[in-house]
Every structure is written in C-alpha cells, then in structure tokens.
C-alpha cells in the first residue's frame, strides 16, 4: 500500500492548487512522514523542516512559483519545498555526495530563487528581487520566509529598514517558533513573545472591525476612523508594532499550522500595497513528539530510530574538539576571572553552553550576530577583560571587518575560537571552514594557532588566552584522535614548530598544520616504504611562521605544505611568500597541498578529503609526481 498517495500524485507544484483543504491536511501528514523517514535514515535538519510543512503547502496553494519568488532564510527548514518541487524521488540522497543539497540552491532547481545557508540574508535578497521586478515592470510576488532566530541577525534589520522606506511590494513571513538552534535570545525575541501573548488585542481588533463594518452607510468611514483608534489601542495593549512603525503592514500573529488561515492571510497580503510582514507562530519539530520535546537535539541530527527518536549510542571513541575546548575554557576561567565567553546563537554547537552554566555572568549569547559578537568582545577587551569568541569558521566570515578594524588594529586581547574549521561534510560549501587561515593571515597583530590534535588544542587555548594581543585557534568538526591529554596546561612557544621526524638526508619535508599533520605522517610512511625519506614538521602556527624551521627544511629537494584550508592565501601561501622573499624559491621545490580554489560540495569528510587530494595516499602520489 502506497504510504504517500497524495504526495506521489504531485508532479508539478501547480498540482497542489487542485487539492481541497482536507486533502492538503492529509498531504501535510504524508509530507511530514516522508521527511521523518528520510531524515531518520540520513540525518538532516528535521525539527525546522517539520515546522514549515503547512506553511509550505499554503504558499504553494496560493502563489505561482517559480514566477513568484520564494527566498528561504538559512534554508534548513525547506525540505517540504524541495520535495514538492520535483526532488521527491531523489530526496533520499539528501546531503550526500552528488545528492540533493541541504539548503536551497539556485544550481539545483528553478524553484530555489536564492542560495542560502548563512542566516539573515533572505529579506535583503528578496528586496533585491522586488527592486529588479519593478524595474522590469513585472508584477510577480516576492516572498521571504525568515525565522525568529534569523531575525536576530543584523542584516535582517538593514533590509527591513530599507524595505519600509522603499515601500515596494514584498511579503516577509516571520516563522516564529521561539527557537533558534537553542532557545532564541534578545529583545526582539521578547518583543515577539509579547505580541504573541496579546490575544486580547487581536480579538478586540477583530470584533471592533466586524462591528463597525456592519453599520450601514457609515460603517466604512467608521472603520477607517477606527484604524486610527486601532493604532492607539495597539500601542496601549501591544507595545508598538515595530514593523508597522517602519512601514510594513503587519498581519498576525497567526497559527502557522492552520492551512486555511495561512491561505486567507496570504490572499490578504497579495491585495495590500507595499511591504507586508506576516507573523506566524509555529512549533519546531511539529508532528514528531521527540522533536517537539527536544527541538534543539532535532535541529540538525544524525540518523535516529524513526519511532523512538533515539540515536545510536556512540561506543567510546575520542572526544570531540568542541568538548575539549569547552572543558579547557572552563578550567582556564576557573583561574582567570578576566575570561568571558561569547557565542552567536551557537551555545550547544560551540560547547559554550557548559561554560554558561558554570559562569552565567561571564557568558553571552548575542543571537545570530557574529559582527556584534566580535566588537562586543573588543569592547570588553578594551576595558580589561579577555573575551573568548567561539564561532564556526564559516560564520566568522561575517565578522571580517570587526576582527580587522575593532580587534587587530587596536591590538586587543580577544581570542577567536574557530570551530568547524576545514571540510565539515554534509552541510556543504556554505558551511566548510575553508577560508579562515586566508582571511586571518593578513591581519596585522593576529596570532594563528592550529592544533594538530585535541591535546594541542588545550595547550594552545591556554597560551592564547594568556596573550595580550589578538589570537585565533582553529579546529575541525568532530572527534579528535584519542591522544592522551594531561590535566595541566603547557605553554606553546609562540611561532615555534614541532619537528616530529627529520634527518638532513631526507628528500622531502612535510610542513603541515592541524589534523593534516597526522595525515602527513601517514604519507611520509608511505614514501619511506618506497625509498623516499621524508621529514615531518607540525608547524603549529600559520602566523607567525617558524621561519627558522622553514629554512632548515629548505635543504631538502621538496618542501610540501599541507593544510585543510584554501590554497589561496592560506598557510602554503605564507611559506611560498617567505621562500620568495628570502631568495630560497630557486633552491627548493615547493608543493602546496590544500583545498583548491573552488567551493567544495557536500559529502562525508573522507569523501571530500579525497576530492581535494588530501588523503595520505594522494599526498604521497603528488610528492612522487613532483619529484620526477
């Protein structure tokens, strides 16, 4: 018996318009089940996508896509959108190498109006499409769907600000489920709660409106007069609707799981002139009890039992870099009361949640606001603190100028801890931490630590927070190598490498940073077995470089730099620049191994390392090729 009879009949999103309300409600059940089945088997962003099933069906039953433009914010909640737009058959390849991507992607479908993955971009992009539409004289709708978490991102307010001023037709749907990845934070989140809690205002608004319109002849005039009254009532009952104050029509809050109500509000929004914000209230994880109960766990999840929601028990294994960072920072903060910790809406992901439980007064979750996080830290540092800002490498790209202008130029003691540095895997090109060595290396006063394993992460973190200047420590997603870790911290001499294996007779020297050190050791072993002797150096720092060791190793025939960062402007570039500047580049060959100058797709980390030529076997082969 076909589990998805209605879903299987949809060959074109326009088919959805033919369904009655009761069929749409049945279709919602089928969609939900299909998403749970798929994510249980593959992993993915379950809770966000379960929360937008009815929203998506209502959107597709009222608007004409792709003529109308639909921009999802972050896009992790768009699985229904993908399934309904021709990707149902391939949806089981979600987030796999060569498969359906985890976020809307313009190269994947004409229904994906804009590529997303980083938060708070949807209103800006949608407004851009509305401006373009009007310049071309078209009349399509442009819709942005943004979550309450993404609304804490500064770019959202920049876009709302301009949209309210331009007055162009634009529909912004605020999907308010009171959650970011963790519980949502900030004044805007509190404001939304107050609006949601003001049913008496909404009921009064509706009752008064209906009463006035029912009065013959004067009803319409009285209704318009009442609109003026409404605004004063609203400001009395519900603190001024900030959205209306900046030029939006505001509709809501409405039940984001009531398809009929959503359809009615979308039709009303289509009739309104100018920008409209529709505030819907949804439940993250809706329809799957384990996810409803724990939307944080099911925000982004690995494989799980389809019925119980249980994930496979991890058998022992090495600790994650994140957990090692989290524990080490608490130990350091025990001794150093100047240490504060800042996250941008990722307390669980960065491990700072534990810090916040121990030191709540020294922990700050700023929402999805990486730019603000860094300059907040700079302010703290300027006043004598030593803030530690923990961001994912890819999201730290948002704070480039804050790092340059507010931290490095002022030479302030801020420590940037970049988690998810390198190839992250299933999240793909929007999330790989492929560029931090490049974007940090040219910042004056910055010291860049790259631990080779979890033990070195502890010591590097301790050294970084002891310094009175900008520092960055970058480490990958996932587990370490299970190396022994001492309780006490050891200082890492800044700018000094660690020679792991060397003989002056060696033909080759690997200069590696981060976990690539262990892979370089494996490549060296392969080469040694084939009669090519290789030195291996853990360079430890991308800035400052240990130039003494570079010159010492330049006596080999071939220097090989290895990094899990873009080759453009990364660690290898720094070594090349040094060799060139010192006139050594004609004395020694240089082979740079790293992430090529392109966006790397999704897949397992090992698949992606292979794609980049970074497995030990490939590294050994590349060395042999260059030695020819």
Ligand X SMILES: CC(=O)[C@@H](O)[C@H](O)COP(=O)(O)O
Toward ligand X, which CB reaches closer, 369 or 619? 369
Toward Mg ion, which CB reaches closer, 52 or 320? 52
Residues 332-361 that bind ligand X (CB under 6 A): 349
Residue (of 553, 540, 509) closest to 527 by Cα position: 509
- Total residues in contact with ligand X, by rule CB under 6 A: 11
Toward ligand X, which CB reaches closer, 350 or 447? 350
Residue 186 found at the interface with ligand X (CB under 6 A): no
Q: Listing from the earlier edge strand, what are the strands of the sheet with 415-419?
A: 363-365, 339-343, 386-392, 415-419, 471-474, 447-449, 541-543
Q: What's the closest the beta carbon of residue 244 comes to ligand X, in angstroms?
A: 30
Q: How far apart are CA 288 and CA 50, in angstroms?
A: 8
Toward ligand TPP, which CB reaches closer, 30 or 370? 370
Q: What's the half-sphere exposure (Cβ side, CA atoms, 13 Å) at 9?
A: 12
Q: Which residue has the tokens 């009929």?
A: 260
Q: What's the closest the beta carbon of residue 101 comes to ligand TPP, in angstroms?
A: 14
Residue 148 found at the interface with Mg ion (CB under 5 A): yes
| DSSP category for residue 492 | P
Toward Mg ion, which CB reaches closer, 174 or 549? 174
Q: What's the closest the beta carbon of residue 330 comes to Mg ion, in angstroms?
A: 28
Toward ligand X, which CB reaches closer, 120 or 538? 120
Residue 424 found at the interface with ligand X (CB under 6 A): yes
Strands 498-501 and 534-538, bridge-based pairing:
antiparallel
Buried b (16+ CB within 10 A) or exposed e, 477-498: bebbeeeebeeebeebebbebb
| x-or-dash string of contact with ligand X, 273-312, rule CB under 6 A | --------------------------xx------------
Buried b (16+ CB within 10 A) or exposed e, 374-404: bbbbbebbeeebbbbbbbbbbbbebbbebbb
Q: How far apart are CA 494 and CA 491, in angstroms?
A: 9
Q: What's the half-sphere exposure (Cβ side, CA atoms, 13 Å) at 597?
A: 7
Count how many residues are written for the chain.
Answer: 628
**Sequence-ordered alpha helix ranges (H) in 66-180:** 79-82, 122-136, 154-166
Q: Listing from the earlier edge strand, what are the strands of the sheet with 558-566?
A: 498-501, 534-538, 508-512, 558-566, 589-595
Residue 43 found at the interface with ligand X (CB under 6 A): no
Q: What's the closest the beta carbon of residue 422 comes to ligand TPP, in angstroms?
A: 17
Among 6, 58, 119, 179, binds Mg ion (CB under 5 A): 179
Contacts of 314 (CB under 8 A, 6+ apart): none
Q: Which residue has the tokens 């608490």?
A: 330
Strands 558-566 and 589-595, bridge-based pairing:
parallel
Q: What's the closest the beta carbon of residue 79 comes to ligand TPP, in angstroms?
A: 11
List of E strands, 204-274: 249-255
- Given a contact cutoff of 8 angstroms between Cβ atoms, the answer to whether 253 and 280 are in contact is yes
Q: Report what 38 binds from ligand X, ligand TPP, Mg ion, none; CB cut-off 5-8 Å by kind.
A: none
Give catalytic residue positions.
284, 370, 398
Q: Report what 424 binds from Mg ion, ligand TPP, ligand X, none; CB cut-off 5-8 Å by kind.
A: ligand X
Strands 589-595 and 275-281, bridge-based pairing:
unpaired
What is each CA distance from 336 to 58, 276, 359, 462, in whole angstroms?
54, 50, 12, 11
Residues 52-81 that bind ligand X (CB under 6 A): 74, 76
Q: What's the closest the beta carbon of residue 322 comes to ligand X, in angstroms?
A: 9
119 is in an annotated binding site: yes
Toward ligand X, which CB reaches closer, 238 or 346? 346
Q: What's the closest the beta carbon of residue 236 comes to ligand X, in angstroms?
A: 39
Using only the alpha carbons of the chain, give its radius of gyration. 27
Q: Which residue has the tokens 């990845």?
A: 181
Bridge partners for 390 per DSSP: 343, 417
Residue 51 found at the interface with ligand X (CB under 6 A): no
150 is in an annotated binding site: yes
Among 284, 441, 477, 592, binds ligand X (CB under 6 A): 477
- Given a contact cutoff of 8 angstroms between Cβ atoms, the answer to whether 199 and 253 are in contact is no
Toward ligand TPP, which CB reaches closer, 118 or 386? 118
Residue 420 found at the interface with ligand X (CB under 6 A): yes
What is each CA distance from 297 to 31, 293, 379, in whole angstroms?
21, 9, 33
Hey, what are 617's tokens?
Answer: 């076997």
Hey, what are 114's tokens?
Answer: 């804009």
Q: What's the half-sphere exposure (Cβ side, CA atoms, 13 Å) at 351?
A: 22
370 is in an annotated binding site: yes
Strands 275-281 and 249-255, bridge-based pairing:
parallel
Q: Report what 127 binds from Mg ion, ligand TPP, ligand X, none; CB cut-off 5-8 Å by kind.
A: none
The count of other CB atoms within 10 Å of the CB of residue 277 is 27
Binding residues vs ligand TPP (CB under 6 A) = 48, 51, 73-74, 76-77, 118-119, 147-150, 175, 177, 179-181, 284, 299, 344-346, 368, 370, 395, 398
Q: Report what 150 binds from ligand X, ligand TPP, Mg ion, none; CB cut-off 5-8 Å by kind.
A: ligand TPP
Toward ligand TPP, which CB reaches closer, 122 or 561? 122
Q: What's the closest the beta carbon of residue 47 comes to ligand TPP, in angstroms?
A: 7
177 is in an annotated binding site: yes
Q: Which stretch binds ligand X (CB under 6 A): 61-69, 126-134, 419-427, 434-442?
A: 419-427
Q: Which stretch binds ligand X (CB under 6 A): 261-269, 380-388, 420-428, 493-501?
A: 420-428
Q: What's the closest the beta carbon of residue 492 comes to ligand TPP, in angstroms?
A: 29
Residue 115 found at the interface with ligand X (CB under 6 A): no
Residue 603 found at the interface with ligand X (CB under 6 A): no
Binding site for thiamine diphosphate: residue ranges?
Answer: 76, 117-119, 149-150, 177, 288, 370
Interface residues with ligand X (CB under 6 A) are 45, 74, 76, 181, 299-300, 349, 420, 424, 427, 477
Interface residues with Mg ion (CB under 5 A) are 147-149, 177, 179
Binding site for Mg(2+): residue ranges?
Answer: 148, 177
Binding site: residue ranges?
Answer: 76, 117-119, 148-150, 177, 288, 370
């Amino acid at each position: 018996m076909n589990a998805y009879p209605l879903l299987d009949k949809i060959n074109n999103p326009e088919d959805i318009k033919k369904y009655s309300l009761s069929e749409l409600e049945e279709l919602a059940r089928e969609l939900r089940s299909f998403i749970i089945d798929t994510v249980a088997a593959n992993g993915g962003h379950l809770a966000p996508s379960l929360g937008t099933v009815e929203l998506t069906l209502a959107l597709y039953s009222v608007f004409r896509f792709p003529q109308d433009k639909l921009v999802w914010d972050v896009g992790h909640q768009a699985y229904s959108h993908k399934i309904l737009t021709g990707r149902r058959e391939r949806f089981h390849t979600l987030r796999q190498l060569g498969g359906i991507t985890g976020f809307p992607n313009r190269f994947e479908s004409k229904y994906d109006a804009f590529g997303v993955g980083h938060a708070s971009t949807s209103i800006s992009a949608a407004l851009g499409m509305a401006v373009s539409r009007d310049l071309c004289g078209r009349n399509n709708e442009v819709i942005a769907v943004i979550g309450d978490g993404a609304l804490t991102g500064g770019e959202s307010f920049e876009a709302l600000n301009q949209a309210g001023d331009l007055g162009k037709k634009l529909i912004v749907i605020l999907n308010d489920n009171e959650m970011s990845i963790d519980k949502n934070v900030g004044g805007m989140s509190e404001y939304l709660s107050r609006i949601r809690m003001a049913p008496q205002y909404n009921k009064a608004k509706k009752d008064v409106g209906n009463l006035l319109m029912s009065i013959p002849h004067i009803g319409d005039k009285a209704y318009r007069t009442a609109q003026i009254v409404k605004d004063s009532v609203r400001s009395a009952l519900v603190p001024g609707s900030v959205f209306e104050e900046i030029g939006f029509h505001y509709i809501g809050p409405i039940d984001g799981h009531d398809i009929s109500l959503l359809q009615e509000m979308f039709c009303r929004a289509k009739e309104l002139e100018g920008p409209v914000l529709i505030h819907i209230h949804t439940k993250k994880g809706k329809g799957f009890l384990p996810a409803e109960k724990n939307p944080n766990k099911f925000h982004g999840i690995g494989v799980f039992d389809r019925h119980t929601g249980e994930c496979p028990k991890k058998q022992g294994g090495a600790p994650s870099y994140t957990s090692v960072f989290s524990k080490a920072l608490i130990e350091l903060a025990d001794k150093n009361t100047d240490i504060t910790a800042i996250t941008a809406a990722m307390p669980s992901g960065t491990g700072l949640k534990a810090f916040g439980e121990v030191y709540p007064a020294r922990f700050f979750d700023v929402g999805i606001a990486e730019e603000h996080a860094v300059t907040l830290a700079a302010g703290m540092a300027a006043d004598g603190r030593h803030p530690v800002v923990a961001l994912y490498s890819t999201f730290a790209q948002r704070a480039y100028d804050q790092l340059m202008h507010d931290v490095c130029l002022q030479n302030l003691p801020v420590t940037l801890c970049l988690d998810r540095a390198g190839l992250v895997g299933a999240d793909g090109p929007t999330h790989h931490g492929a560029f931090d060595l490049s974007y940090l290396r040219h910042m004056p006063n910055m010291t860049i630590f790259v631990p080779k394993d979890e033990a070195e992460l502890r010591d590097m973190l301790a050294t970084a927070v002891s310094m009175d200047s900008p520092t960055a420590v970058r480490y990958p997603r996932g587990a370490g190598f299970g190396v022994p870790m001492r309780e006490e911290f050891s200082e890492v001499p800044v700018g000094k490498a660690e020679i792991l294996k060397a003989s002056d007779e060696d033909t080759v020297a690997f200069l590696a940073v981060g976990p690539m050190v262990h892979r370089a050791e494996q490549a060296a072993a392969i080469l040694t077995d084939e009669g090519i002797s290789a030195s291996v150096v853990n360079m430890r720092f991308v800035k400052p470089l240990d130039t003494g060791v570079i010159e010492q190793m330049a006596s080999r025939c071939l220097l090989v730099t290895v990094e899990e960062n873009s080759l453009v402007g990364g660690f290898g570039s720094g070594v090349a620049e040094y060799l060139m500047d010192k006139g050594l580049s004609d004395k020694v060959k240089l082979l740079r191994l790293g992430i090529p100058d392109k966006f790397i797709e999704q897949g397992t980390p090992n698949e992606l390392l292979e794609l980049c030529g970074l497995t030990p076997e490939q590294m050994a082969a590349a060395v042999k090729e260059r030695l020819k």
